[in-house]
């Protein structure tokens, strides 16, 4: 198992970071939240989880060991693969997911793209005794999903700047996709940062 990778960031893409390790570029799948803290040329250390399939080896990267542990525990539930587990962590922090499961918060899980009402109910049952209790003191004060989802504008802008766009370009792209995020909020769901990032990049590509 590759427990972590450490080295300079060689490249960044909407869903991937390339970390140079001993002269080799390791492509690591990351959430926008994790990518937002990375900068090309700067040193980075990502906790990692290697997913082995018959036709592929995929390395997933996380800001810390706790996030990786939750990623792996989520996959012990039936129907949850690495992509869905990553989507859950893109929407909620590890502690927010623990709180959602421990309190039976179905709405928090359905805020994740790819999880419907029945799927959320099933996950609540299967994960109830697996994730444990929230460990961060901020959860009781801020509520479910707050560390990751409340500042979607900041996350999106940081991710775009990390990909090499100027602050002005990032601001314009964020404003362009704001209606999508506001529509999600109006429906009582969490703004889907990964989808918003893709839409923002499409806006920037059209402008060039």
At 133, list the tokens: 């209790």
**Range scoring the smallest mean pLDDT among 56-65, 93-102, 121-130, 139-148:** 139-148
**Range scoring the smallest mean pLDDT among 43-52, 148-157, 185-194:** 148-157
Average pLDDT, the chain: 84
In the chain, ranges of CATH 2.40.50.140 domains: 4-62
Indicate the class that CATH gives domain 72-143: mainly alpha
Cα–Cα distance, 172 to 185 (Å, whole number): 20
* The model's pTM: 0.69
CATH number of 151-207: 1.10.8
Question: What confidence score (pLDDT) does residue 208 get?
Answer: 55
Reported confidence tier of residue 143, pLDDT bands at 50, 70, 90: very low
Residue-wise pLDDT for 161-187, tens only, equals 767 778 888 888 888 988 888 887 777
Question: What confidence score (pLDDT) does residue 178 get?
Answer: 87
In the chain, ranges of CATH 1.10.8 domains: 151-207
In the chain, ranges of CATH 1.10.150.20 domains: 72-143
CATH 2.40.50.140 fits 4-62, yes or no: yes
Question: What confidence score (pLDDT) does residue 62 get?
Answer: 95
DSSP codes joined into one string, 48-98: EEEEEETTEEEEEEESSHHHHHHHHHHTTSTT--HHHHHHHHHHS-HHHHH
Question: What confidence score (pLDDT) does residue 139 get?
Answer: 40
- In percent, the amount of the chain with pLDDT more than 90 equals 37
């Amino acid at each position: 198992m590759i427990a972590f990778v450490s080295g300079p960031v060689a490249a960044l893409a909407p869903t991937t970071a390339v970390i140079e390790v001993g002269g080799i570029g390791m492509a690591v799948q990351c959430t926008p939240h994790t990518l937002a803290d990375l900068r090309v040329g700067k040193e980075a250390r990502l906790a990692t989880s290697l997913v082995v399939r018959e036709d592929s080896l995929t390395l997933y990267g996380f800001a810390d060991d706790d996030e990786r542990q939750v990623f792996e525990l989520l996959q012990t539930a039936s129907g949850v693969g690495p992509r869905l587990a990553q989507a859950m962590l893109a929407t909620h922090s590890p502690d927010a997911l623990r709180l959602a499961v421990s309190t039976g918060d179905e709405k928090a899980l359905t805020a994740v793209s790819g999880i419907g009402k029945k799927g959320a109910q099933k996950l609540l049952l299967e994960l109830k005794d697996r994730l444990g209790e929230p460990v961060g003191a901020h959860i009781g004060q801020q509520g479910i999903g707050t560390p990751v989802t409340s500042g979607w504008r900041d996350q999106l802008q940081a991710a775009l700047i990390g990909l090499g766009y100027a602050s002005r370009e990032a601001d314009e792209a964020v404003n362009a996709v704001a209606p999508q995020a506001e529509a999600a909020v109006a429906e009582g769901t969490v703004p889907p940062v990964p989808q918003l990032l893709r839409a923002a990049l499409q806006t920037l590509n059209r402008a060039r």
